[in-house]
Amino acid sequence: MNRQYEECIKICMEYLEACNTCFDSCLKEDDVKMMTKCIRYDRACADACMFAIQAMVSNSPFIDEICNLCADICERCAEECAKHNHEHCQQCARTCQKCADACRNMSA
Amino acid sequence: MNRQYEECIKICMEYLEACNTCFDSCLKEDDVKMMTKCIRYDRACADACMFAIQAMVSNSPFIDEICNLCADICERCAEECAKHNHEHCQQCARTCQKCADACRNMSA
Amino acid sequence: MNRQYEECIKICMEYLEACNTCFDSCLKEDDVKMMTKCIRYDRACADACMFAIQAMVSNSPFIDEICNLCADICERCAEECAKHNHEHCQQCARTCQKCADACRNMSA
Amino acid sequence: MNRQYEECIKICMEYLEACNTCFDSCLKEDDVKMMTKCIRYDRACADACMFAIQAMVSNSPFIDEICNLCADICERCAEECAKHNHEHCQQCARTCQKCADACRNMSA
């Protein structure tokens, strides 16, 4: 695994932690009904990130395309999360954007 | 893919449909705070089922062990879903138990 | 799950069967060293297809983007498989192209 | 994510790197026909490890069961890899056993 993948995988893992914390925390919020889109995006974006990690760690012939898709999905998830003031949403949005940038660089 | 896998995969796919419908529907319920455990179990059980389908369709050397785990997880998810009266939970519980039985047979 | 997803998932599953048969059969060929690219593409393409099925069956907010990626990857895998005369490769190439078309339609 | 998961995930990621290197390297060996079981086990074991990482990072309700399965599968993959003298197989076997131990601890 080259250095560049290693760094991107690390960022993806940090995002996954924040994303799944956000998923669980949203479910515990009083205004959970306001958070349903955020919950659905968290789940789908976590799946996309796991898929990108799998591609990088297995040296897939399609890393570029997969990281590009992951960047697209992360950007949309970051936008959604950023709308909510809960600290876990803001933290999720920040790491999600960082993950989008790292994946975009990987696919360039 | 032998006949036996084909039938089990079909049952897993039917469950996945009911399980994901239950996930989305729980998020729309008025009493969504009552449904958070169900929502978490739906997500985790769907992941286990996808993993079992992947094992069966790729003729994994570990089909028995994986289907056995999927059966264990489905049984616990079916128990949780059965506690809730929403029709999507009851439907999820029924197909989940059917899926548990099919996976248990596969691993026998 | 709407009708359209159901048909696309069915085609993806048929492809996965052919793809994994091709993977296992390539490993048994006398000229296995000629087949290494095909083996790597089969594995990576099967992963992409599983990811697309997961997106469709869980009604992901990102189905369009994911099915589009799956179509791209399937097209490249179909090209690679079509180069080899083994019946399992030809069968894999055909179902892979069919899968690419179905996923492309889904993302349109 | 608690400290204990973090360490286990790190060990799983190190194994995944060695496992996928072994997969690719086996395909390049002159005696690739001797390596087909190793190639199939590498692929299946990598999938099990990704599934365990997903469970840990998403705080799945079924972490214990999933890590236990991953430990079982890793032990069988380590046994297979240890039979081959290629350095990538020996390296894979060592990290695989380490991964099995970490996952077994996690499920205890």
User: Does C2 have pLDDT greater than 70?
Assistant: no
Among residues D88, D74, D79, D87, the alpha carbon closest in space to that of D23 is found at D88
Cβ distance C37 to C66 under 8 Å?
A: no
Cβ distance D74 to D49 under 8 Å?
A: yes
Annotate C22-56 with DSSP letters as a single string: HHHHHHHSTTGGGGHHHHHHHHHHHHHHHHHHHHH
Give residue A44's identity as a one-letter amino acid code.
A
Distance CA A64, CA A55 (A): 9
Place of tokens 């349109």: C108
Which DSSP symbol is given to A108?
A: -
Among residues A18, B42, A56, the alpha carbon closest in space to that of D58 is found at A18
Which DSSP symbol is given to C33?
A: G
Distance CA D35, CA A7 (A): 31
Separation of CA A81 from chain center = 11
Q: What is the pLDDT of residue A33?
A: 87
Cβ distance B26 to B69 under 8 Å?
A: no
Interchain pair D55, B47: CB under 8 A: yes
Give the tokens for residue A19: 């994303």
- For the stretch C28-62, pLDDT in tens is 998 888 999 999 999 999 999 999 999 999 999 99
What residues of chain A have any CB closer than 8 angstroms to a CB in chain D?
Answer: 1, 9, 13, 16-17, 20-21, 23-24, 46, 50, 53-54, 57-59
Among residues D18, D31, D8, D32, the alpha carbon closest in space to that of D88 is found at D18
Average pLDDT, chain B: 95
Cβ distance C78 to C1 under 8 Å?
A: no
A20 contact residues in B (CB cutoff 8 A): none
> Which ipTM was obtained for this model?
0.94
Phi and psi for B40 in degrees, rounded to 5? -65, -40
Tens place of pLDDT per residue across chain D (108 aa): 567 799 999 999 999 999 999 999 999 998 888 999 999 999 999 999 999 999 999 999 999 999 999 999 999 999 999 999 999 999 999 999 999 999 999 988
Distance CA A94, CA D24 (A): 35
Chains near A (3 or more Cβ pairs under 8 Å): B, C, D
Domains of chain A: 3-107 (1.20.1270.360)
Q: What is the pLDDT of residue D2?
A: 63
- For the stretch B43-76, pLDDT in tens is 999 999 999 999 999 999 999 999 999 999 999 9
Distance CA B107, CA A16 (A): 32
Give the tokens for residue C53: 């099925």
Q: Which helix (H) or strand (E) holds D10?
A: helix D3-28
Give the tokens for residue C90: 């030809």
Distance CA B93, CA B74 (A): 9
Q: Which are the contacts of A43, defined by CB distance < 8 A and separation ≥ 6?
A: A23, B43, C58
Residue of C nearest to D37 (CA): C27
Beta-carbon count within 10 A of A4 CB: 12
Q: Which are the contacts of A105, defined by CB distance < 8 A and separation ≥ 6?
A: A8
Distance CA D92, CA D16 (A): 9
Average pLDDT, chain C: 95
Among residues A10, A12, A42, A9, the alpha carbon closest in space to that of A25 is found at A42
What is the pLDDT confidence band of residue A31, given thresholds at 50, 70 and 90? confident
| Residue D27 to chain C, least CA–CA distance (Å) | 6
Distance CA B96, CA A56 (A): 33
C-alpha torsion C103→B57→B73→B93, nearest 10: 60
Q: What is the pLDDT of residue D33?
A: 87
Distance CA B2, CA C66 (A): 29
Give the tokens for residue A72: 């697209």
Measure CB to CB from residue A51 to each of C43, C51, C58 and give the nearest one: C51
User: Does B1 have pLDDT greater than 70?
Assistant: no
Q: What angle do CA C44, C47, C49 make, to 5 degrees?
A: 110
B53 contact residues in C (CB cutoff 8 A): 50, 53
Chains near C (3 or more Cβ pairs under 8 Å): A, B, D
Give residue B99's identity as a one-letter amino acid code.
C
